[in-house]
Amino acid sequence: MDFGRGQTDLAPTLQEIFHQRTLAEWMEVALEHDIAMGPANQLPDLADDPQLAAREIIVETIHPHAGPFTAVGWPAPVQGQPFEVVRPAPRLGEHTDEILLAAGYDVVEITDLRARGAI
């Protein structure tokens, strides 16, 4: 039997218990009792997470058109294999011709689609 599925009556009780201590206090309890548990970070918390920082998962980089941005690196980094953006996110329509050519359209058809405002 899966006790986690559909057992919503337990959630308010657990929520009340978890609200009795801060995140830091719960992490101390986990360390003290060797409990495998960690915080469920919210997006704004990720940059300050010590484990993510130590593993260099959050990466500051620069997009050639948009400028500086924060990226998520390798979820399981391997020593000696640093994260790098190989190909930045495209601008709107940047690869349209390339994709249509790969899909079998020829240059004349693509020109026609563009003239008709379809792309």
pLDDT tens per residue, range 18-47: 999 999 999 999 999 999 988 888 888 888
Percent of the chain whose predicted confidence (pLDDT) is above 70: 97
Q: Where are the domains of the chain?
A: 1-40
pLDDT at 5 over 80: no
Residues 74 and 57 sit within 8 Å (Cβ to Cβ):
yes
pLDDT tens per residue, range 85-113: 888 889 999 999 999 999 999 999 999 99
Cβ neighbours for 38, distance < 8 A, ≥ 6 positions apart: 27, 30, 51
